[in-house]
Structure 1
Amino acid sequence: MAFSSNSSGGGPMADINVTPLVDVMLVLLIIFMITAPLMSHKVKVELPQATLEEKPVIEIPPITIAVTAEGKTYWNDEAVTRDMLEARLAVTAQRQPQPQIDIRADNITRYEIIHEIVQDVRRAGIRKVGFVSTPER
């Protein structure tokens, strides 16, 4: 502890001596300034070259399956039976890339009929299935 040398009571000094703290901080600053450039390792790495060759994107139009309120099914506006629909779905599932199947139905068509068509599409193995509707006003 530091004691004051004046004659005002001889008690301990309340001031902190910052000179040693500044000395230590300056020494640390010099050490870090010297060692920081040595810490960055420069490892030579051969990076791969990027090629900008674009593969041609093949636009495949979607196939529309329309279902009327009576349960009649149309493949791209061509009437088909249930067996013909399953056969066409099996052929479509084998194509690469697979086209999207859009299902369009009347607003009063029973959900059971639409569900059966969706199940046929899923059983055939087609991954992209969408529903077509009119926008809300």
Structure 2
Amino acid sequence: MSMDVGSKSVKSDINVTPLVDVVLVLLIIFMVITPMLQRGKPVQLPDAKHVSALKGGGDPVLLSITADGKAWIDKAEVPLDQISTELNVAMQMAPGSPVMIKGDKSVDYKRVREIILEVSKTHLLGVSLAASEIKEKK
């Protein structure tokens, strides 16, 4: 607060400069961090009318299948014959976490089935397939 010397009234002005500074810093932080929140390899998910929410155990272990048919666990490429081994290692590091398979919609279904067959060799419970929900227009 400041006071005028000649008057007896109190002048109360809000200084918005610190507020603007804080908001701009937060904006920059969110702009930098938001792209890093995407886990796994980026893929174009197939569309589905009915999508259920992922249940249980915290953050899932992501197995991505990119458009070129390569398998990735988080950001590491994994050959087809080592998927079950690498998934077991990932599950030991995060016990109880579900496994989510994100397959690109342009990948042949045959390739997705081969990878799902390798995942089934691990005998893990809670393997889910990721999809984008189609929003119905009203």
- Quick one: higher RCO (CA 8 Å, sep 6+), 1 or 2? 2
Larger radius of gyration: 1
